[in-house]
């Protein structure tokens, strides 16, 4: 509820944001950010009002590109209960661990 100049109460219309141009950047992108990562983030920001899931997928892609840029390993070596060494990869899509013998 809101009040007009005479103190009369009235309802404000409800608005749903569909798009904002140019896109709002909810987080700052550092100038040192790799070009590919920057493009994915800007793309994510431009569709966040229309399709939040698609926007977050682009953020995920940007994070993967950033990990690639800094050569972050997607696997690690672990030992099972018998002491055998195995390479364990974290599957980001389902948060499951998959194992491959080394």
Structure tokens belonging to residue 67: 């990990």
- Between CA 22 and CA 33 the distance in angstroms is 20
Give mean pLDDT, residues 21-34: 92
- Indicate the burial class of 89 (C-beta count within 10 angstroms; 0-12, 13-18, 19 or more): middle
The string of pLDDT tens digits covering residues 34-93 is: 999 999 999 999 999 889 999 999 999 999 999 999 988 877 777 778 888 877 776 655
pLDDT recorded at residue 91: 60
In angstroms, what CA-CA distances link 40 with 64, 69, 93? 11, 14, 18
Q: Where are the domains of the chain?
A: 18-71, 74-102
pLDDT recorded at residue 92: 55
pLDDT recorded at residue 11: 82
Instruction: Indicate if the alpha-carbon torsion angle 13, 14, 19, 21 is positive or negative.
Output: positive
More confident of the two residues 39 and 15? 39
Q: Count Cβ neighbours within 10 Å for each residue of 18-57 and write b for 16 or more, e otherwise.
A: eeeeeeeeeeeeeeebeeebeebbebbbbbbeeeeeebee
């Amino acid at each position: 509820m809101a009040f007009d100049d005479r103190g009369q109460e009235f309802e404000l219309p409800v608005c749903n944001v569909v798009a904002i141009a140019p896109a709002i950047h909810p987080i700052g992108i550092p100038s040192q950010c790799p070009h590919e990562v920057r493009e994915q983030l800007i793309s994510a920001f431009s569709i966040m009002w229309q399709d939040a899931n698609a926007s977050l997928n682009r953020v995920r892609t940007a994070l993967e590109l950033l990990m690639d840029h800094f050569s972050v390993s997607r696997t690690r070596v672990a030992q099972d209960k018998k002491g055998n060494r195995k390479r364990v990869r974290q599957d980001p899509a389902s948060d499951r661990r998959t194992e491959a013998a080394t």
